């Protein structure tokens, strides 16, 4: 077994434990993030390959300097025949030569000395329904040539582009704009043109190993990205590609390196698949056990299901996905009356709702609430509720239910400071995120008096990708205004607010939200749909106990997540250390 195989096998726990990539942290993060350990392992294999540390050198190999002489002679022939143009090539500097540590028999040179480096058209030909495919960066996004969603151009435009950059089988394509890199080998007989894509063509197939160049470009991709230009969209220039330095091995060694890289990448694939299978099996197990809680028919079944979970708590909730599922289950159990025991001494919800109805009638008489038509009774309850609970329509619980509006003048009404104007991007389940907040003037705020927000109001996003996100407006802000993408829910009895917020975040209401949305272009919930939501109402005393228990268990989940993130960060550091030591 070679040195690299030893590095892999000796550090398997580190590679396989570093589950989440650094870039996947943040809001909405899933445990199915990149397998960071395997990702770093792939990078290590390529790094060792281009440094000459992956396979041993063979003194019988013809040195790369001789190979370069042969390639140069072929290049001169093509120039003489008018196939390619002669180009100015910058000589290697002392810094270039001084920084390079290359094995014996290798040679430092520029890519243009090994391959004919061209680029596709930068114009935008007229597209048509059929014709010749025009390959762009998006067709290389997977690191392979993909013509599934390609656009077509005419034969005339195709032939014009081919005069500049004709693609042949065995060429290498490399995205130059946007998603830089994703080098792909052309392994089909091409009948397509390229746009904003670099093209690497060998001068003579006998002196070339395109598969080695493919691996080298995959290694160099990060440096190209780091040194890319462009304020709006990053790009790498043709000159940069041509002048890029490559440590060229002897041709036989190039083939040996490719074979070893493929062998080790297959090992990475196996390791990655094992980890993905393990993650999937873990998630399936967690979801099945949590489902047993919510579907328990009675207290005995629930207790048995909870016992199975509690005995293995430390091994079940070890990923962000599993912890998120636990949070969802806690909320679902809360709104089904399974999280805390019922107390027969509690005043039943029917009396609580009668008090709310009386308060509503009083507000109608005072003109503070409109007298609306009575909504139909709930004949079929969504689930069997505990003794003392009742279902009612959301509209029967509120004094205000409706979305905000856009200030006159739109964004031109925004100010540097003033009254907060909350949009859907500010409303998150864990509270208001004010890093991207807009403000409106006092005058504008007063002119929009119907959409003022006050402490204890519940805010609910009703359109777009953030549909269903909700928070309670905090006391420290005093007041604000909201856009038309956010609904204000103001309860008649504010004491019910924390429970209703838990209810909105629960899978029960989230399913209602997404099932009853309307609109084809943009999802949305209308006031008429929202006011008919079937709301389970426990006795008020039980609501307090439920919210307290939810808060307690959510804090535990947050502690689990924090411990998990710390453990993952440790694994990432260990992975980086192993890679650094290997180099």
Note the pLDDT tens digit of each residue in 115-135: 999 988 888 889 998 999 998
DSSP string, 457-505: -EEEE-BSTTTT-EEEPPGGG--EEE-TTEEEEEESSGGGHHHHHHHHH
Strands, E assignment, 129-259: 132-135, 151-153, 172-175, 181-185, 193-194, 197-202, 245-248
> Do residues 297 and 473 make contact, with C-beta atoms less than 8 angstroms apart?
no
Which residue reads 């709310």 in tokens?
356
> Do residues 111 and 238 make contact, with C-beta atoms less than 8 angstroms apart?
no
Pair 240, 386 in one domain: no
Per the domain annotation, does 390 fall within a domain?
yes
Per the domain annotation, does 582 fall within a domain?
no
Pair 241, 373 in one domain: no
Q: What number of other Cβ atoms are within 10 A of residue 91's Cβ?
A: 6
Question: What span, in angstroms and rounded, lies between the C-alpha atoms of 383 and 380?
Answer: 8
pLDDT at 26 over 60: no
pLDDT at 183 over 70: yes
pLDDT band at 507 (very low <50, low <70, confident <90, very high): very high
> Do residues 173 and 199 make contact, with C-beta atoms less than 8 angstroms apart?
yes
Q: What number of other Cβ atoms are within 10 A of residue 34's Cβ?
A: 16
Average pLDDT over residues 272-286: 84
Pair 371, 245 in one domain: no
DSSP H/E element including 139: none
Per the domain annotation, does 362 fall within a domain?
no
**What are the Cα distances from residue 239, in Å, to 167, 176, 407?**
19, 11, 50
Q: What is the pLDDT of residue 490?
A: 95
Dmax over Cα atoms in the chain, in whole Å? 101
Average pLDDT over residues 501-521: 84
For a pLDDT cut of 90, what percent of the chain falls above it?
Answer: 44
Note the pLDDT tens digit of each residue in 380-436: 889 988 999 999 999 999 999 999 888 888 888 899 899 999 999 999 999 999 888
> Do residues 145 and 128 make contact, with C-beta atoms less than 8 angstroms apart?
no
pLDDT at 25 over 80: no
Pair 376, 241 in one domain: no
Q: What number of other Cβ atoms are within 10 A of residue 458's Cβ?
A: 23
Pair 100, 226 in one domain: yes
Count Cβ atoms within 10 A of the Cβ of residue 103 and give its class: 0-12 exposed, 13-18 middle, 19 or more buried.
middle
Per the domain annotation, does 531 fall within a domain?
yes
Q: pTM for the full model?
A: 0.66
pLDDT band at 27 (very low <50, low <70, confident <90, very high): very low
pLDDT band at 28 (very low <50, low <70, confident <90, very high): very low
Question: Which of 220, 249, 278 finishes a domain?
Answer: 249
Per the domain annotation, does 267 fall within a domain?
no
> Do residues 484 and 406 make contact, with C-beta atoms less than 8 angstroms apart?
yes
Note the pLDDT tens digit of each residue in 33-86: 346 777 878 888 888 888 888 888 999 999 999 999 999 999 999 899 888 888
Average pLDDT over residues 487-509: 96
Between 275-289, 365-379, 514-528, the lowest mean confidence (pLDDT) is in: 514-528
Question: What span, in angstroms and rounded, lies between the C-alpha atoms of 500 and 51?
Answer: 61
> Do residues 151 and 158 make contact, with C-beta atoms less than 8 angstroms apart?
no
SS3 18: coil
pLDDT at 558 over 60: yes
Per the domain annotation, does 506 fall within a domain?
yes
**What are the Cα distances from residue 522, in Å, to 26, 507, 517, 518, 533?**
25, 22, 9, 8, 21
Per the domain annotation, does 353 fall within a domain?
no
Beta-bridge partner residues of 392: 535
> Do residues 135 and 147 make contact, with C-beta atoms less than 8 angstroms apart?
yes
pLDDT at 21 over 50: no
Kind of pairing, strands 458-461 and 452-453?
unpaired
**What are the Cα distances from residue 558, in Å, to 137, 138, 242, 561, 565?**
41, 39, 51, 5, 10
User: Which among 144-148, 446-450, 545-549 has the top mean pLDDT?
Assistant: 545-549
Tally the domains of the chain.
2
Residues in the chain: 583
Note the pLDDT tens digit of each residue in 239-277: 999 999 999 999 999 999 999 999 888 888 888 888 888
Domain residues for the domain of 170 are: 62-249
Q: What is the pLDDT of residue 35?
A: 63
Which residue reads 């746009």 in tokens?
195
Q: What burial letters (b/e) apply to 254-290, b meaning 16+ CB within 10 Å?
A: bebbbebbeebeebbeebbeebeeebeebbeebeebb
Strands, E assignment, 164-291: 172-175, 181-185, 193-194, 197-202, 245-248
SS3 316: helix
Q: Average model confidence (pLDDT) for the chain? A: 85
Q: What number of other Cβ atoms are within 10 A of residue 546's Cβ?
A: 23
Q: What number of other Cβ atoms are within 10 A of residue 483's Cβ?
A: 21
Beta-bridge partner residues of 390: 537
CATH number assigned to the domain comprising residue 454: 3.90.220.20
Count Cβ atoms within 10 A of the Cβ of residue 111 and give its class: 0-12 exposed, 13-18 middle, 19 or more buried.
buried
Q: What is the pLDDT of residue 452?
A: 94
Per the domain annotation, does 1 fall within a domain?
no
Question: Which of 185, 216, 249 finishes a domain?
Answer: 249
């Amino acid at each position: 077994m070679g040195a690299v195989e030893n590095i892999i096998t000796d550090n398997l726990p580190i590679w396989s434990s570093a589950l989440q990539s650094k870039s996947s942290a943040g809001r909405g993060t899933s445990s199915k993030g990149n397998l960071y350990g395997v990702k770093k392992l792939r990078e290590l294999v390529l790094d060792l390959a281009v440094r000459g540390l992956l396979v041993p050198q063979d003194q019988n190999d013809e040195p790369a300097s001789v190979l370069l002489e042969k390639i140069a002679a072929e290049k001169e022939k093509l120039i003489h025949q008018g196939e390619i143009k002669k180009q100015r090539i910058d000589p290697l500097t002392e810094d270039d030569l001084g920084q390079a540590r290359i094995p014996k028999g290798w040679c430092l040179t520029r890519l243009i000395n090994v391959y004919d480096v061209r680029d596709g058209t930068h114009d935008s030909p007229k597209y048509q329904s059929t014709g010749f495919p025009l390959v762009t960066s998006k067709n290389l996004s997977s690191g392979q040539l993909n013509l599934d969603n390609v656009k077509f151009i005419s034969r005339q435009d195709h032939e014009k582009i081919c005069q500049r950059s004709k693609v042949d089988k065995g060429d290498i394509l490399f995205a130059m704009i946007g998603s830089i890199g994703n080098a792909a080998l052309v392994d089909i007989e091409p009948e397509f043109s390229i746009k904003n894509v670099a093209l690497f063509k060998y001068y003579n197939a006998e002196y070339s190993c395109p598969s080695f160049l493919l691996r080298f470009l995959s290694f160099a991709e990060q440096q190209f990205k780091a040194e890319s230009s462009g304020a709006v969209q990053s790009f790498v220039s043709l000159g940069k590609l041509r002048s890029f330095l490559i440590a060229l091995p002897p041709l036989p060694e190039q083939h040996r390196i490719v074979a070893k890289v493929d062998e080790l990448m297959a090992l990475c694939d196996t390791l990655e698949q094992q980890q993905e299978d393990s993650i999937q099996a873990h998630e399936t197990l967690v979801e099945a056990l949590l489902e047993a809680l919510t579907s328990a028919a009675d207290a005995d079944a629930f207790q048995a299901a909870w016992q199975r979970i509690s005995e293995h708590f430390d091994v079940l909730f070890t990923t962000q996905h599993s912890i998120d599922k636990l949070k969802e289950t806690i909320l679902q159990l809360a709104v089904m009356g399974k999280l805390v025991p019922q107390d027969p001494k509690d005043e039943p919800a029917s009396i609580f709702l009668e008090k709310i109805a009386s308060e509503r009638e009083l507000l109608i008489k005072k003109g503070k609430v409109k007298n609306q038509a009575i909504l139909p009774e709930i004949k079929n309850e969504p689930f069997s509720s505990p003794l003392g609970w009742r279902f009612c329509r959301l509209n029967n619980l509120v004094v205000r239910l409706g979305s905000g509006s856009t200030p006159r003048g739109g964004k031109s009404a925004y100010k540097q400071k003033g009254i907060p104007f909350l949009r859907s991007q500010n409303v998150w389940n864990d509270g208001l995120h004010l890093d991207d907040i807009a403000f409106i003037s006092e005058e504008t705020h007063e002119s929009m008096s119907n959409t003022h927000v006050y402490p204890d109001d519940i805010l609910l996003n009703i359109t777009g990708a953030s549909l269903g996100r909700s928070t309670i407006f905090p006391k420290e802000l005093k007041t604000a205004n909201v856009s038309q993408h956010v609904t204000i829910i103001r309860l008649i009895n504010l004491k019910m607010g924390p429970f209703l917020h838990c209810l909105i975040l629960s899978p029960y209401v989230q399913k209602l939200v997404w099932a009853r949305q309307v609109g084809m272009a943009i999802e949305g919930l209308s006031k008429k749909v929202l006011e008919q939501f079937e709301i389970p109402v426990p006795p008020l005393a039980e609501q307090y106990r439920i919210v307290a228990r939810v808060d307690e268990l959510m804090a535990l989940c947050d502690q689990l997540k924090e411990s998990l993130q710390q453990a993952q960060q440790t694994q990432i550091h260990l992975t980086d250390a192993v890679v650094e030591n290997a180099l």
